[in-house]
């Protein structure tokens, strides 16, 4: 049987922590930042956790 290849798009977008949580970057933080409040901009820096079955699929794509 062939080796499973990691999906390179998933590698660039997601990280898995030591405890096994799948983390992603937040949306709406790249441009049009003038309009956004400071607290909103700060919140966009923090990664968000991916939950449920989607996290399981992402782990499979990452080969974990």
Domain boundaries, the chain: 8-59
Question: Minimal CA–CA distance to 13: which of 44, 48, 56?
Answer: 48
Percentage of the chain with pLDDT > 90?
A: 84
pLDDT digits 0-9 by tens, 25-52: 999 888 999 999 999 999 999 999 999 9
Q: Which residue is associated with the tokens 């400071």?
A: 38
| Phi/psi of residue 48, nearest 5 degrees | -115, 155
Q: Does residue 64 register a pLDDT over 90?
A: no
At 37, list the tokens: 């409040």
pLDDT for 49: 96
Q: Does residue 4 register a pLDDT over 80?
A: yes
CATH for 8-59 is 4.10.410
């Amino acid at each position: 049987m062939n080796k499973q290849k990691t999906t390179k798009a998933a590698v660039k977008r997601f990280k898995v922590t030591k405890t096994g949580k799948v983390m992603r970057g937040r949306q709406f933080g790249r441009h049009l930042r003038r309009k956004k409040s400071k607290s909103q901009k700060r919140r966009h820096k923090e990664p968000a956790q991916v939950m449920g079955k989607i996290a399981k699929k992402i782990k499979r794509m990452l080969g974990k």
